Amino acid sequence: MALMKKNSCYLRQDLAQAWADKPVFDAVANIDGEIFRDKEGRRTLRFELNDRSYFLKYHQGVGWTEIVKNLLQMRLPIISARNEWQAIHFLEKHGIETMTLAGYGEKGINPATLRSFVITDDLVNTMSLEYVGEQWQQRPPSFATKQALIRKLANMAGTMHKNGMNHRDFYLCHFLLDERFAEHNTFEDKTPVYLIDLHRATIRHKTPKRWQIKDLGSLYFSASRVPLTKRDKLRFMQIYSGLPLRTLLKEQADLWREVQHRAQRLLAE
């Protein structure tokens, strides 16, 4: 994927028309809406414009103190919304459902004062897979529904990792599906599941094993309340890897052992 140039900007036609007489970064910086986050140089909010609902993530510069703090903690600082829009492009390219871009941009050179934004369509009338465990404790799904959802998540994770992207926040709460699932409790292979919250995602030529482990361990941990059998887990592993079960257990035993250890550590915290 080609990197965007500095001081670049894209607006879909609906936003371009609405802000035709305004400097884009001024318009974005002054948007009012329902705020979900406003700290460390980043604002996340939902806003409405011409009867449409959008999500905005606006980065106004994190400052050198925040950058140095992250580096000292051996963490890659998030200084731009670029990660998010590049991850969306990546997922679209590889057939993984995610948010729909309405606009993005970046302005500046100094990493401490870099201004950037990403705007996506609001995924209205959706619910998080975080609640599936609770729901299935009371209302167990059909065999077909459970297997279809396992296939879906395993294919999403496998496709993402095989093509070089790791999410770094890969929990069930960052998968959304139609909120009517809470009523009908059924899922099919064609049912959309949207992967969100991509600001920490990293794209490389190949996903390092340690980041596979972190993503998969986080997903396994977040599914701790979902009633999964040993066969369910083996099915996920097989679909994710694309390997026959015998080969999988022989060649990837260390990977899946580390995934389980990470999930157990998270559960113990």
pLDDT per position as a tens digit, 170-219? 999 999 999 999 999 999 999 999 999 999 999 999 999 999 999 999 99
Q: Which pLDDT tens digit goes with each residue over 122-179?
A: 999 999 999 988 899 899 999 999 999 999 999 999 999 999 999 999 999 999 999 9
Length of the chain: 269
The CA distance from 166 to 248, in Å, is 21
**The listed CATH number (2.60.40, 3.30.60, 3.30.200, 3.40.50) that belongs to domain 8-121:** 3.30.200
Catalytic residue among 14, 121, 122, 169: 169
Residue 114 has pLDDT above 90, yes or no: no
Give the residues across from 44 on adjacent strands.
37, 57
Q: In 122-201, which ranges are E strands? A: 126-128, 165-166, 175-178, 194-195
The region of weakest confidence among 6-10, 34-38, 107-111, 220-224 is 6-10
Please tell me whether the overall predicted TM-score, pTM, comes out greater than 0.85 for this model: yes
Average pLDDT score over residue span 257-263: 97
For the domain made up of 126-268, give the CATH fold.
Answer: Transferase(Phosphotransferase); domain 1 (1.10.510)
Would residue 169 show up in a list of annotated catalytic residues for this protein?
Answer: yes
Domain with CATH 1.10.510.10 in the chain: 126-268
